[in-house]
A and B are shown apart, each in its own frame.
Chain A
């Protein structure tokens, strides 16, 4: 029975969302608001349960150590400093302290992580051309990757050498390379778009399959 009711609600909400394909309508807005509201409510409950309640409980029960209490007190103080942001903004500058800590630590962490985990590894992989040591396909792929990377980077040049800038005419080869780089970028975007469309089509398939299951369950009962 639970599956029937739950499946019915899911089917109804799915049809409400799919009705947006025809036109905007109250059913679509209702379902959208319901889903967003439910998600936000659930997130709030999770944050309260996972971030606040355990620390308060441990502090009140006396099971928390000194370090945990210190960390909890610091977090509580920084959180209270955010409160002047509400209301008439009196003393809102106090909120700059926790915000500065948050953004400063986050930026430092993200920058270090990006350099260490994304930029340098991908840059080294492109420069080292490690695929040249493999088979022929790997070697061809490595060379093509390097060329396409160069063409893509060339397409982002927006200045001309002095002589070409005076004449106002860009060299033909340079212009062709830039155009080829733009084509590669558009191809990349096309791949991203196709992947996104595939995902959404899979989502549509999944919803339709869910509706079919519910209809099957409904017909059996």
Chain B
């Protein structure tokens, strides 16, 4: 589109390249309308037709084919906000609000301050200069009902001065929320001639100021200044009853069968089920675009004739004559035919690859254009629109439609950097298709310079620093940490370890010397026999011949060095008298030791203990610990229910009579009191305690002897206050018990000597070790680094 010059004589708007007026031939010295202040050519031409005719002249015939073809172009060039407006009108029909679906840039416009008294703000002025309000406030049949639904609480600034303020910046919001606000400027709704000048679009003001004929036209009424098709809409608006009676058409995307995803979110109806009710109303548009969506007249073979158009479309009579002329004029330019064919073939190809989401549904209805391209494209396709883009065009006007439909900030991003692709992708999908198609084939249409202030982003210094850091991290490679040479720690030979090893070696040498060397008599004077061993030997000797002795193996191999010798000495004393032995344990490892003793007894050659069930019985492991002992104390016969081999001995009379001293061999006659002695071989104080608590307490007269290592002697000592409780501990008592039998094991005596030597050396090592410990502690105290124990 190029600039135009309004003739000062007749008021006709002429292209800027003309020197003389096309109408009256006068040298053009009129007002130059910049592209920003002018409408697209196709809009300005009907404006001329509306302004130039003298008052009272007949309205141009809107049913001409030119109107239809121009309507197609208009539909193609409709910016998104206009289509949104149309869809919103459908929402208004359904009584729904569409305010949340507003695009951001429109929301920003919406938040602009109200126009000042008697005029508009700069932003409003620029917007109004680029986008005429009648495009947004397009009247339709539903306008009356929508106006009735608009609420009154839209703000004082609007409700108070709505008549003097252009309504189009509020666009959809007015439709959604404002009920009482008129959807059109006052001059569109009422034929009132006292329209404030600020409500008049600038392009009309300029025309009016430059032409007296224009003034006459304004005086004649606003209708006369409108294009014919808009006048027709106004006429329809004046017939609300008739429009309300007409059924609402189905939504376009339903009609065309396109997927719903073709529309951006803010274009979709709020409820899909109400899709029909929320449909894009044909009544919301002028009749000519709705009837023209099938095919443009100029693309038809007979499009040059009005008859063909009239037979094809019932709305042909609504097409203004200027559009017919334009079509007839442009039909001669056949070179644009290929251009148009390229447009829609591109769209069709795009629909093949990316079917639905590329373009809105109503654009697909124009696909028949590609089938029969008209040899006579409309004139507006031949207009040098690219030149009219001016210096603001980034790429020579490659995407005029997208420019119209995209907000300004999005255009700037797309033009300024390589991130344009991402910016375009951020737009609705159908915008990409439009832009790509328009870049290929669409005629250039100057973008309406809607100066919408971009949202001012204020970044704090911290955010900026963070952004710089992120950018630097993206650019700079990650530096590998430099290898810091770690000094190898010196292997310090710890004195403590050496002393520990040295002490162990000394102790080991002392033991070896006592075991292997000549025997050193550690005892001074005559050997004193162990009183404990003597008491046990005396008690064993006092036992009746048939009294059984219960041996409890409550120890394990950890204390084998002492317990083996003790156990061997005790069993030797018992077997010397052929006393019946009962072997049992409540310690799992004791079962192994009891089995070992049973094996040794069977291997005996005294022909007593090798008699199964007579010399000894291995009762084995009795699970339960204290519970097992309690049961043993209360029911001694239960111990015979299972021996080590799993055999039940309760039915064997010989066994029961021998081991339980039952008179008739019945298990009921078994009692622990009939047992001659209980010998508990324990390596833990808990074992001795349990036996005392569960068994000895239940049978106070039962003789009990504890055979323990030296370690347990202090712990069991308190139980020895009872007269029937005795104890032997350690190798020394083992030797003493052997000596009471008249024999002593030389090796056992050497072990006793080795133990005595080892104990002595250990004590010396402790005393010697105290010297460096005390010295180290004193040094630490002097340095003030003493620990808790060193203090």
Contacts and interface: CB of A to CB of B under 8 A. Distances in A.
Given A49-B646, A206-B561, A212-B515, A198 B693 contact: no
A121 B751 contact: no
A3 interface: no
A195 B710 contact: yes
A203 to B, nearest CB: 4
A12 interface: no
B561 A198 contact: no
B305 interface: no
B697 A116 contact: yes
Contacts of B623: 47, 50-51
A134 B644 CA distance: 47
Interface stretch (A76-84, A105-113, A178-186): A105-113
Contacts of B497: 22-23
A58 B622 CA distance: 17
B592 A42 contact: yes
B747 interface: yes
A136 B411 CA distance: 118
A199 to B, nearest CB: 4
A198 B757 CA distance: 11
B710 A199 contact: yes
A46 B556 CA distance: 14
B515 A209 contact: yes
A114 B691 CA distance: 11
Nearest to B753: A205
A207 interface: yes
B588 A199 contact: no
A207 B646 CA distance: 35
Interface in B609-646: 620-623, 626-627, 630, 642, 644, 646
A33 B764 CA distance: 33
Interface stretch (B142-150, B500-508, B783-791): B500-508
Interface in B681-734: 689-690, 692-694, 696-697, 709-715, 718-719, 721-722, 730-731
Contact of A195 (B508, B648, B714, B750): B714
A109 B694 contact: yes
A117 B689 contact: yes
Interface of A is mostly: helix
A197 interface: yes
Contacts of A58: 648
Contacts of A207: 561
B721 A50 contact: no
Given A50-B621, A105-B627, A192-B714, A113 B697 contact: yes
Contacts of A49: 646
A51 B646 CA distance: 10
A42 B711 contact: no
Contacts of B719: 118, 121-122
Nearest to B512: A208
B632 to A, nearest CB: 13
Interface of B is mostly: helix
Interface in A148-179: none
A39 B588 CA distance: 9
A71 to B, nearest CB: 11
B721 to A, nearest CB: 4
Interface string B428-450: 00000000000000000000000
A202 B755 contact: yes
Given A117-B696, A125-B721, A198-B755, A208 B508 contact: yes
A96 B49 CA distance: 99
B751 A202 contact: yes
A196 interface: yes
Nearest to A113: B693
Nearest to A198: B710
B511 A205 contact: yes
A53 interface: yes
Interface string A7-38: 00000000000000111000000000000000
B747 A209 contact: yes
B409 interface: no
Contact of A110 (B504, B512, B626, B754): B626
A170 to B, nearest CB: 22
A191 interface: yes
Interface residues of B, number: 61
A114 B588 contact: no
A58 B651 CA distance: 15
Given A50-B620, A113-B694, A205 B642 contact: no
A209 B754 contact: yes
A49 B621 CA distance: 9
A201 interface: yes
A202 B730 contact: yes
A39 B711 contact: no
Contacts of B778: none
Contacts of B564: 206
Instruction: Give the residue among A53, A57, A206 with the most B Cβ atoms within 10 A.
Output: A206
Given A42-B589, A46-B588, A202 B693 contact: no
Contacts of A125: 718, 721
A142 B626 CA distance: 33
Contact of B758 (A57, A192, A205): A205
A28 to B, nearest CB: 14
Nearest to B622: A50
Given A23-B497, A43-B589, A191-B714, A113 B561 contact: no
Contact of B627 (A50, A51, A106): A106
A115 B759 CA distance: 37
A196 B719 CA distance: 19
Given A22-B501, A106-B627, A113-B690, A199 B709 contact: yes
A51 B625 CA distance: 13
Contact of B762 (A21, A63, A197): A197
A201 B759 contact: yes
A204 interface: yes
A87 B721 CA distance: 51
A91 interface: no
Contacts of A195: 710-714
Contact of B731 (A105, A110, A202): A202
Nearest to B694: A113
A54 interface: yes
A22 B502 CA distance: 9
14 contacts: A22-B497, A39-B556, A50-B622, A110-B626, A113-B697, A118-B689, A121-B697, A121-B722, A195-B711, A198-B730, A199-B710, A199-B711, A202-B710, A205-B561
Interface of B: 497, 500-501, 504, 507-508, 511-512, 514-516, 556, 558-562, 564, 588-589, 591-592, 620-623, 626-627, 630, 642, 644, 646, 648, 689-690, 692-694, 696-697, 709-715, 718-719, 721-722, 730-731, 747, 750-751, 754-755, 758-759, 762
Given A117-B697, A122-B721, A206-B562, 11 more contacts: A22-B500, A46-B588, A50-B642, A113-B694, A116-B693, A117-B696, A118-B692, A125-B721, A192-B715, A201-B511, A202-B730
Counting from the closest, the 8 A-B pairs by CB-CB distance are A206-B561, A113-B693, A117-B693, A117-B697, A199-B711, A201-B758, A43-B588, A116-B697
Interface of A: 21-23, 39, 42-43, 46-47, 49-51, 53-54, 57-58, 63, 105-106, 109-110, 113-114, 116-118, 121-122, 125, 188, 191-192, 195-199, 201-209, 212
